[in-house]
Amino acid sequence: MTYPKIRILILEDVPADAELIERELRSGGPDFSSLCVDDEGSFTCAIKEFHPDVILSDYSLPGFDGASALAVARTHAPDIPFIFVTGALGEERAVELLKSGANDFVLKDKLVRLPAAVKRAIAEAEEKVKRKAAELSLRKAHRELRESHRYLERKVEERTKELKESEQRFHLIADTMPNLVWTARPNGTIDYLNRHGLEYIGIPEPESGQSWHIKPVHPDDWKTTVETWRKAMVSGEPYQLEHRVRRFDSAYRWFLSRCIPVRDEKGRIIKWYGTSTDIHEMRTSRDELGQLVEARTSELQNAYDRLLTETRERERIEEQLRQAQKMEAVGTLAGGIAHDFNNILAAIIGNTELALDDVPEDNSARRNLLQISKASLRARDLVKQILTFSRKSDKERKPLSITPLVKETFKFLKASLPASIDMKLVAEAAHDIVLANPSQLQQVVMNLATNAAHAMPDGGSLEIALFDAHFQASDLLPDPEMESGSYVAISVSDTGCGMNESVKRRVFEPFFTTKDPGSGVGLGLSVVYGIVKSYEGGITVTSTPKKGSTFTVFLPRGEEADGAPGGEQRVRMGTEKILFIDDEEALRVAAKDMLSRLGYAVTALADPREALDRFRQDPTAFDVVITDYTMPGMNGLALGKKLLEIRPGLPVILHTGYNESVDGGRAEDAGIREFLMKPLSRQELSDAIRRVLDQRI
């Protein structure tokens, strides 16, 4: 072990001894430097200036002694180890010296102990110094601790005082407030309530440190209150809510409560501070206002919805009306053309029939005449269709039950349409009587079903349904030309190609077709339209491209018929006298010829005024009058009226191809018995004549 060079002060009057000591130390002791003195003065000086680490002192010295030296050392350097290196020394003396502060004794005859003694003394001295330093710092720490304790106590006192003052201030302010002011423990129990709060709820102030067990919140608002408070517990955010608080008289008033949590430094909530402001009046009027606004809003919304529906409905009706007007115009045009064609056809048909009567069987012209007749009849059919569309045809209508008729048509369709079309009939009409012409009605179903089949070239489903439909005055009518009331509906649905909007808009127009020339003329639906409209019915179409279409026909429900059976078709002859009036010569000639052949005596005139004169001369000269409607000078209706004035009960038949201006009701009132549509076939004409003559009273 190496030691730092230590300084040794030796007090020794005998140089040999001093040398011995040094030698001994050098032999086994630490590395050192030494200073040897032999009197008090130099000893004292050496202590102050040499700063020894250890003092080795002889006990007996001339003019100075070891005990005094020890005293000097303890005075000037109390902590420096002091070892006596001496001859024999009494035990008592030694104890005494040790008490006075000597650290050790080494006898001169046992100097070999000296190095160890020096090391130990130095070690002890160092230890002592360290201990002293430790004690010193401990004492210092104690002192500081005491001071900070005192400081803290002072601070706590100050803070407590401040807190008390602040709490007093808080209570003072809170008590002057018109709101309920309160504080609550972390668990929500109220531990302070201001004066106004106590008075409002009607409870006494509790003992200090106590809290109330009150639940002044309205039971209906309790859940929301607790939920809001719980949320605030989690978020630590202030909260506010509106709830009802019970007053001392058990009445509840609305309050706006605001609350903030106060937390400790670890973030735990230690207190809630809250105020509750009475908003009862505001809240009640707000609720009333809210209800008022809500009611008004809903009224407005309803009005708006109504307006929207009405606007849409008006637009739909306007569109349907536009469509109906267009169809009306087209009908007028087509009807006008058909009328002229009719007159021409009547002449062709009449004359061909006459020629056929005259041409012998074996004449080759007969074949040509038959061709003319066939073609003319085809043309007449076409014209009839146009007239049907323009509602100029006047087919006889009678009450009929449409279920058997539709069933029969369905059977026919099923037999004739391809098997790839799956057909279904749903006949659910409880009251299926309509005032209609059976062949026209059949035509309606046939045309709709044929179109449906055409729309499904690759097969599909075709459904014909019959059902009752009733519309109140307030109901939306499917067709604006319909009236409210009871209807029998026939719908024809298919799963075919469907139609786009522009096709759908035009389907009822005559000659509108999307089919190839030869496959469709475009008259099918216009005929349906004409028939349905002439029955005061309606028709609708719904369609989705690639999905299919549904056409629905609504026919006004009619009353049960008396059950007059239909007669067999046969040209009926007669011998009565007929006055026939028509300004068209060809027609007049043909009719005269046809009627004469049936046995009648015919007077055919072109001028209605002449006819009137002739009739006036002898009112019994004729059994029946057949007159055209549109004639120069006087129309057929006026003529009929005049004749009937002269001879009431006279059978008058009005025939026209252009009866739009003829009011059927008016004509009937005037006594006109029959209406016939041009061109007149022999069958129709002979039937009508027999009807009026045979019914004669």
Ligand X SMILES: Nc1ncnc2c1ncn2[C@@H]1O[C@H](COP(=O)(O)OP(=O)(O)OP(=O)(O)O)[C@@H](O)[C@H]1O
Distance between CA atoms of 445 and 139, rounded to whole angstroms? Answer: 124
Residue 452: contacted member of Mg ion, ligand X, none (CB under 5 to 8 Å, by partner type): ligand X
Query: What's the rounded Cα separation, in Å, for the pair 83 and 600?
Result: 187
Q: Which does 273 bind (CB under 5 to 8 A by kind): ligand X, Mg ion, none?
A: none
Contact partner, 420, from Mg ion, ligand X, none, Cβ < 5-8 Å per class: none
Residue 12 near residue 18 (C-beta atoms within 8 A): yes
Q: Which does 523 bind (CB under 5 to 8 A by kind): ligand X, Mg ion, none?
A: ligand X
206 binds, among Mg ion, ligand X, none (CB under 5 to 8 A by kind): none
The nearer residue to Mg ion, 316 or 515, going by C-beta atoms, is 515
Q: How far apart are CA 588 and CA 611, in angstroms?
A: 13
Q: Rounded to the nearest 5°, which phi and psi values hold at 84?
A: -85, 130
CB of 593 to ligand X, least distance (A): 35
Minimum Å distance from CB 520 to Mg ion? Answer: 6
Element (H, E) at 550: strand 548-556
Tell me which of Mg ion, ligand X, none is bound by residue 409, counting a contact when its beta carbon lies within the kind-specific cut-off of 5 to 8 angstroms: none
Residue 346 or 527 with smaller CB distance to ligand X: 527
Least distance between ligand X and beta carbon 528 (Å): 8
Q: How far is the CB of 455 from ligand X (least distance, A)?
A: 3
- The Cα-based distances of 158 to 148, 151, 155, 170, 300 in angstroms read 15, 11, 5, 18, 68
Min CB(578)–ligand X separation in Å? 38
Q: Which is nearer to ligand X, 47 or 523 (CB)?
A: 523
Site of interaction with Mg ion (CB under 5 A): 451, 524
Shortest Å distance, C-beta 377 to ligand X: 18
Kindly state the smallest distance separating residue 540's Cβ from ligand X, in Å.
Answer: 13
The residues with which 105 forms a beta bridge, in sequence order, are: 84
**Residue 391 is encoded by which pair of tokens?**
């509602």
Phi and psi based region of residue 14 (left: phi greater than 0; alpha: psi -120 to 50; beta: remaining): beta
Partner from ligand X, Mg ion, none binding residue 297, C-beta < 5-8 Å depending on class = none
| Beta carbon nearer to ligand X, 186 or 520 | 520
Token readout for 36 is 């040897």
Cβ-based neighbours of 26, under 8 Å, separated by 6 or more: 32
CB closer to ligand X, 358 vs 458: 458
Judged by beta carbon, residue 541 or residue 586, the one nearer ligand X is 541
Helix (H, G, I), strand (E, B) or coil at 114: helix
Residues near 498 by Cβ (< 8 Å), separated by ≥ 6?
455, 543, 544, 545, 546, 547, 548, 549
Residue 686 C-beta: closest distance to Mg ion, Å: 34
The SS3 of residue 490 is: strand
Contact (CB, 8 A) for 594 and 353: yes
Q: Which is nearer to ligand X, 548 or 558 (CB)?
A: 548
> Between 608-617 and 636-646, two packed helices, what is the crossing angle to 10 degrees?
10
* Minimal distance, residue 548 CB to ligand X, in Å: 7
Cα 142 to chain centroid, rounded: 78
Using CB distances below 5 to 8 A depending on partner kind, what does residue 322 bind out of ligand X, Mg ion, none?
none
Q: How far is the CB of 547 from ligand X (least distance, A)?
A: 10
- Provide the minimum distance between the beta carbon of 546 and ligand X in the complex, in angstroms, as a whole number: 11
Contacts with ligand X, residue ranges (CB under 6 A): 447, 451-452, 455, 494, 496-497, 499, 503, 507, 512-515, 520-526, 549
Q: Which residue is nearest to Mg ion (CB)?
A: 524
DSSP 8-class letter at 217: B
For residue 399, the Cα-to-chain-centroid distance in whole angstroms is 51
H or E element, residue 484: none
Instruction: Give the residue with the Cβ less far from ligand X, 274 or 530.
Output: 530
To the nearest whole angstrom, how small is the minimum distance from the Cβ of residue 550 to Mg ion? 15
Nearest to 274 by CA among 220, 216, 210: 216
Beta strands at 460-471 and 538-544: parallel, antiparallel or unpaired: unpaired
Query: 11 vs 499, which CB is nearer to ligand X?
Result: 499
What are the structure tokens assigned to 283, written together?
A: 């809240």
The backbone torsions φ and ψ at residue 515, rounded to the nearest 5 degrees and listed phi first, read -90, 160
Do 183 and 168 contact (CB within 8 A), yes or no?
no
Binds 522, which of Mg ion, ligand X, none (CB < 5 to 8 A, cut-off by type)? ligand X
Between 525 and 639, CB nearer to ligand X: 525
Residue 499, binding choice from ligand X, Mg ion, none, Cβ under 5 to 8 Å by partner class: ligand X
Least separation in angstroms between CB 501 and ligand X: 13
Give the residues across from 282 on adjacent strands: none
Do residues 428 and 491 lie in contact, with contact meaning Cβ atoms separated by under 8 Å?
no
HSE-up of residue 71 (Cα within 13 Å, Cβ side)? 7
CB closer to Mg ion, 257 vs 491: 491
The whole-angstrom separation of Cα 47 and Cα 55 is: 9
User: 70 touches which of Mg ion, ligand X, none (CB within 5 to 8 A by kind)?
Assistant: none
> Which of ligand X, Mg ion, none is residue 478 near (CB under 5 to 8 Å by kind)?
none
Rounded to a whole number of angstroms, the distance between the first and last alpha carbons of the chain is 169
Among all residues, whose Cβ is closest to ligand X? 524
Q: Which does 512 bind (CB under 5 to 8 A by kind): ligand X, Mg ion, none?
A: ligand X
User: What are the residues whose beta carbons fall under 8 Å from the beta carbon of 399, sequence distance 6 or more?
Assistant: 433, 434, 435, 558, 559, 560, 561
Looking at the Cβ atoms of 11 and 462, the one nearer to ligand X is 462
To 10 degrees, what angle do helices 682-694 and 585-597 make? Answer: 70
Closest of 673, 666, 661 to residue 627, by C-alpha: 673
Residue 455, binding choice from Mg ion, ligand X, none, Cβ under 5 to 8 Å by partner class: ligand X
Which residue's CB is nearer to ligand X, number 386 or number 626? 386
Task: Residue 513: name its binding partner from Mg ion, ligand X, none (Cβ under 5 to 8 Å by kind).
Answer: ligand X
Q: How far is the CB of 513 from ligand X (least distance, A)?
A: 3
Closer Cβ to ligand X, 452 or 625, answer by number: 452
Nearer to ligand X, 119 or 506 (CB): 506
CB 276 within 8 A of CB 257: yes
Least CB distance to Mg ion at residue 389 (A): 12
Rg (CA), the chain: 68
- Beta pairing class for 252-263 and 269-278: antiparallel
